[in-house]
Amino acid sequence: MKNLIGKVSLALFLLASAFYSNGQNLQDNNQEVFGEFTYRQGSAYRTASGNPGPEYWQNAANYIIEAELDDSTHMVKGKVTIDYINNSPETLDFIWVHLEQNRFTADSRGTLTTPIQGNRYSGDVDGGYTISNLTARSGKKGTTSNQHQISDTRMQVFFNEPIAANGGVASVSMDFEYKIPVKGMDRMGRLDVEDGTIYALAQWYPRVAVFDDVEGWNIEPYLGAGEFYLGYGNFEYHITVPYDHIVVGSGELLNPEQVLTKEQQERMKKAGQSDSTIYIISPEEVNSPTVTRPKQEGKLTWNFKIENARDVAFASSKAFIWDAAKIDLPSGKKAMAQSVYPTESDGHEAWARSTEYSKASIEHHSNWWNEYPYPVAVNVAADIGGMEDPGLNFCSYESKGKGLWGVTDHEFGHNWFPMIVGTNERRYAWMDEGFNTFINHYSSVEFNKGEYGSTLDETRRFVG
């Protein structure tokens, strides 16, 4: 981690220097313009160099989520239980929770601030959360509170007893449901293809906001534009879907013997030892539940787990081709690259090479920056230009060739920044996008002996 932080600091310094040089052409005294880049005042929590101080702390949240997808109504219904750990030096009477699905309502702040002529954030106004059965406990008495207030995409949850400083723990649980949007702000959504619907689920459960020593509670509303700032924790989540769906998600699949056929389990094991791509579900097997599902009616529950992550995402569909291959990590450990995509996206010039691209991207960045920390790296074909989550990407199902390599590598690059180095993307989008464009140049030069190539001029164009 220290090695990665050092390399990131150098890259950010170079980026900031570029901005600084341009600023000098505008005015001599640029302290006011570039103060956020150049001025640092150290504290016990963070040193002036940006490293953690002797009393540095981070709060954490661990999640257990049980959710069900109804593909007839496009609804998600579930329950989330959050154990929140307050490592800060002050007691907390409440916590803030993000409810991003409330963006998809007719009266949300994001909808009401959309230009009248429309943009890519238009539409999707028949969704939004229904929250029920909320309980919140903290303190020695452990009494239960259900007091909360919702404002647009944020919810404040109050406790009868404050959460103690320096390690106090609180528990919050609630039921939730919403209709899955179609476009989803190019962050999530659903796509109808020939063999079914692809559900790409991100920002799909109530998520605790970050409380830090810089801003306190970071509760910027979700407008569609802008991304995310989240803390770290452990996740176990259970996704119940129709029996003929395939589910992929952030982290390790814990119950393959319950949701995969014996043949698929064998293919998965083979893929875990293979440098070349192995089909788990081949193009000829798509939407053939008698061949590819361990049961022929009802529902199946897929169980995933990921540790020390800041979020989870998943995808579900009966239309997936599914393939995988081994990822070799510098320590000798192995991970697995996986891709899911519809028949419309198949072909050697398109998504049939997605797992090859994913494997190459993860291996390159692991050798250059820091070892990839998750057990899988999943690339999902969806109606999304490109969006990253820990261990899982959504990329356009229409991407091909160099475009598919570029978006795959770019989104997996985000697993280092901001997924490992957890910056506030809502405030400082230039950090993760700038750093990621910088590292994508070198991975593109290296991939398959320069098959697609890259130039620093292209990189500078994105940074500028």
Q: Of 122 and 320, which is predicted with more confidence?
A: 320
Residue 21: what pLDDT?
Answer: 47
Amino acid 420 reads I
Q: Round to whole Å and give the CA distance between 310 and 336.
A: 20
Tokens 């959460």 belong to residue: 163
CB of 98 closer than 8 Å to CB of 153: yes
158 has a pLDDT exceeding 80:
yes
pTM: 0.90
Amino acid 190 reads R
Name the helix (H) or strand (E) containing 160: strand 154-163
Q: Round to whole Å and give the CA distance between 182 and 399.
A: 19
Cross-strand bridge partners of residue 190: 199
In the DSSP assignment, the letter for residue 140 is: T
Q: Round to whole Å and give the CA distance between 295 and 71.
A: 18
Average pLDDT of every residue of the chain:
91
Name the helix (H) or strand (E) containing 193: strand 189-193
Decide: residue 285, CB within 10 A, 0-12 exposed, 13-18 middle, 19+ buried: middle
CB of 74 closer than 8 Å to CB of 126: no
Provide the 10 A C-beta neighbour count for residue 27: 10
Task: Retrieve residue 88's tokens.
Answer: 């800060």
Residue 429: what pLDDT?
Answer: 84
Task: Retrieve residue 13's tokens.
Answer: 């310094």
Domains detected in the chain: 59-193+200-231 (2.60.40)
Contacts of 272 (CB under 8 A, 6+ apart): 324, 326, 334, 336
Q: Of 423 and 20, which is predicted with more confidence?
A: 423
Q: Round to whole Å and give the CA distance between 231 and 208.
A: 8
Banded model confidence at residue 45, pLDDT cuts 50, 70, 90: very high
Q: Round to whole Å and give the CA distance between 233 and 459.
A: 33
Cα distance from N-terminal residue to C-terminal residue, the chain: 28
Provide the 10 A C-beta neighbour count for residue 150: 14
Contacts of 120 (CB under 8 A, 6+ apart): 183, 185, 186
23 has a pLDDT exceeding 50:
no
Q: Round to whole Å and give the CA distance between 401 and 351.
A: 9
| Share of residues in the chain with pLDDT > 90 (%) | 80
**C-alpha atoms less than 13 angstroms from C-alpha of 127 in its C-beta half-sphere:** 27
* Per-residue pLDDT tens over the stretch 302-333: 999 999 999 999 999 999 999 999 999 999 99
Residue 25: what pLDDT?
Answer: 47
Alpha helices (runs of H) in 333-454, residue ranges in sequence order: 354-368, 401-413, 429-446
* Per-residue pLDDT tens over the stretch 171-192: 999 999 999 999 999 999 999 9
6 has a pLDDT exceeding 60:
no
Tokens 């790409």 belong to residue: 200
Q: Is 449 left (phi over 0), alpha (psi -120 to 50) or beta?
A: left
In the DSSP assignment, the letter for residue 205 is: S
Residue 30: what pLDDT?
Answer: 56
* Per-residue pLDDT tens over the stretch 54-113: 999 999 999 999 999 999 999 999 999 999 999 999 999 999 999 999 999 999 999 999
In the DSSP assignment, the letter for residue 297 is: S
Judged by DSSP in three states, 30 sits in coil
